[in-house]
Structure 1
């Protein structure tokens, strides 16, 4: 049966959410995404690497084990779906050219590891560690550590040896990267030098693993967008800490009766975006998780009829601190969430 013709740009959120992923009329060709993939290929060529990881649309960013290619999330192939992504999850991962290229370089590192079986080499294990250790659902980053490069947010290189390699490769690949100077005197420099040796050894050679299979392409994903986003929100919203009344009473004032004093709920709603951005920068936590904490605060402030009782800037600063504390308590328990 032929696919029905869909005009995504004119569809409502509800109509889009009722679509199955496999029904989305999307492709890489003739989109800004294809231009970014081509840029990745150019960057590899400039480094003498003839291997080109194949790319396809799926439901997330990843490079599967055993397949030297890159899955790219479907929403990046259409501006209407990018708006839906932001509405559902508050951010669009890879939504700008710079951000997209950073992720593509990272995933290319995974693909090249697979293509040339680099993880099997003794030098890989010696420098990056054993890849046999399981991925952890949570990890506790060490922001001050100089044993790892800094590329993607949340100190992602610290999540697993394979992520360490992919992040190091991405730093090495970036055009204009002055990695020798940037990481001078860092232990991470040894990792960059090892990547440089690996890439010189494979330059101009054919990959060992040549599979062009696409894992979970759009055509095989039967879930609806509504189901897709519900699953995403469950994942990002795990372990959201509760907000206690005492904290809110210290932050706001329940004794103010004057209508001239803004309500705490209205105040938090007004500065919500700024708090979300700042706390995300402080903590490295998911924007969605942070927003859920703020939403819980707003709802409870409304129920308690709290009002702003001090200078707005002071209250905003203290609100940021409270949100940060609530969203980072699990980091001190070694439970920093990470997408793998």
Structure 2
């Protein structure tokens, strides 16, 4: 099917940012997202689950309470918008088939919880906790915990009972996940076995809630893309502390004899994108946040007049390890990180 053409496709980034979200008029239908949703429905059908979450385009990923459906972010509906998302956020969440399906399975867990009101069951509450628990602004995950499955980044199951269920459901639903073997000996296995039992119980049954309501559809969002991204960037904004001097001075040289060597700031700038991607992959941290850390480190290298002496490959590797260690400390150290909602 040929892709639908839009007048805004050929606009510059600055011009596109002035467009209102409602004017984009993109849909799930006729895009690669339609195939992703169809695959999700096939997976549910294979498990005998009658509920088919309806989908629509909005500003972000979410499944509203008491609505058995899934909102998908607008940028995934068109390559031009994905390109802009990449520029503004350094990442395109859900931008690959694998990642999109992972998030869809997670959101389907929410939709099925809503459709069948599973959170009202006593056993559900005993295993996952009360759904009524307030969503925190911050959560502090324990990467070593075996009480939760591991599906989306940043140990998301640990953030709230609803997310714990959605993550557990996603692991259960994913084809060939071998969850019994993967989680053997983990307390999280009890949750997976309960989901397996629960899905067998509701198989073939009509959900209690069948509304096809679309919450915050793109057509009703009046903010411009620029306003949208300013808000999104502010959410991930990070002011890094200037505590890197000792580590940077150990890695790079302050010896006057090396004043003709390449500035460390130049080396970091040249490999910046690669370092940012690697650290994001290893830690799960958002690339926009990591970019702020790199900005600060580059500034400190410049102010300290640090020089890159030795093998460039080794220096880049050592610096990447340093940023990873600092990021892990920020995520799981005494301070608490920002809540990231899906």
Matches for 1:173-188 after TM superposition, within 5 Å? 173-188=173-188
Unmatched segments (≥5 aa) in structure 1: none
Corresponding position of 1:232: 232
Aligned to 2:340: 339
2:300 match: secondary structure: helix
* Secondary structure of residue in 2 paired with 1:71: strand
1:98-126 C-alpha deviation (Å, 9 max, x unpaired): 00000000000000000000000001001
The answer to whether the aligner puts 1:217 opposite 2:217 as a matched pair is: yes
* Contact 1:241 1:326 survives alignment (8 Å): no
Aligned-pair CA distance for 1:310: 3.3
Cα distance change on mapping 1:175 and 1:335 into 2, 3 Å? same
Question: C-alpha offsets along residues 7-32 of structure 1, whole Å, 9 cap, x if unaligned?
Answer: 23311110111111111131111100
1:158 and 2:158 correspond: yes
Q: Structure 1, residues 129-187: CA drift from partner, whole Å, max 9, x if none?
A: 11222112221211111111111111111111110100000011111221112211111
Distance 1:285 1:87, change over 3 A: same
Report the aligned-residue RMSD: 1.9
Moved more, 230-239 or 109-118: 230-239
Checking the alignment, whether the CA contact within 8 Å between 2:105 and 2:170 is kept in structure 1 is yes
Q: Look up the match of 2:73.
A: 73
Contact 2:172 2:195 in 1 (8 A): yes
SS in 2 for 1:333: coil
Give the conservation status (yes or no) of the 8 Å contact 2:13–2:84.
yes
Partner of 1:251: 251
Q: Secondary structure at the match of 1:43?
A: helix
Alpha-carbon offset, residue 247 of structure 1: 4.0
Secondary structure at the counterpart of residue 56 of structure 1: strand
Does the 8 Å contact 1:242/1:293 carry over to 2? no
Contact 1:169–1:192 (Cα < 8 Å) also in 2: yes
Report deviation, 1:260. 5.4
Name the stretch that deviates more: 257-266 or 40-49. 257-266
1:44: which partner in 2? 44
The match for 2:135 is 135
Deviates more, 1:292-301 or 1:162-171: 292-301
CA contact (8 A) 1:156 1:164 kept: yes
C-alpha distance in 1 between matches for 2:211 and 2:257:
69
Q: Which residue of 2 aligns with 1:309?
A: 309
Q: Any idea what the Cα deviations from partners look like across 1:264-284, whole Å, max 9, x if unmatched?
A: 121001221232133223432
Q: How far off its partner does 1:245 sit? A: 4.0
State the alpha-carbon separation in 2 of the partners of residues 62 and 122 from structure 1: 25
Q: Deviations over 1:218-257 (max 9, x none)?
A: 1111111111111111111235333554443333224447
Report the alpha carbon displacement of residue 323 of structure 1 after superposing the two structures with TM.
2.3
Contact 1:68 1:114 (8 Å CA) reproduced: yes
Contact 1:279 1:324 in 2 (8 A): yes
Cα drift, residue 313 of structure 1: 3.6
CA-to-aligned-CA distance 1:66-91 (integer Å, 9 cap, x gap)? 21110100000000110100100000
Check conservation: 2:276, 2:290, Cα contact below 8 A. Answer: yes
Aligned length: 336
Q: CA deviation at 1:319?
A: 2.0
Matching residue of 1:295: 295
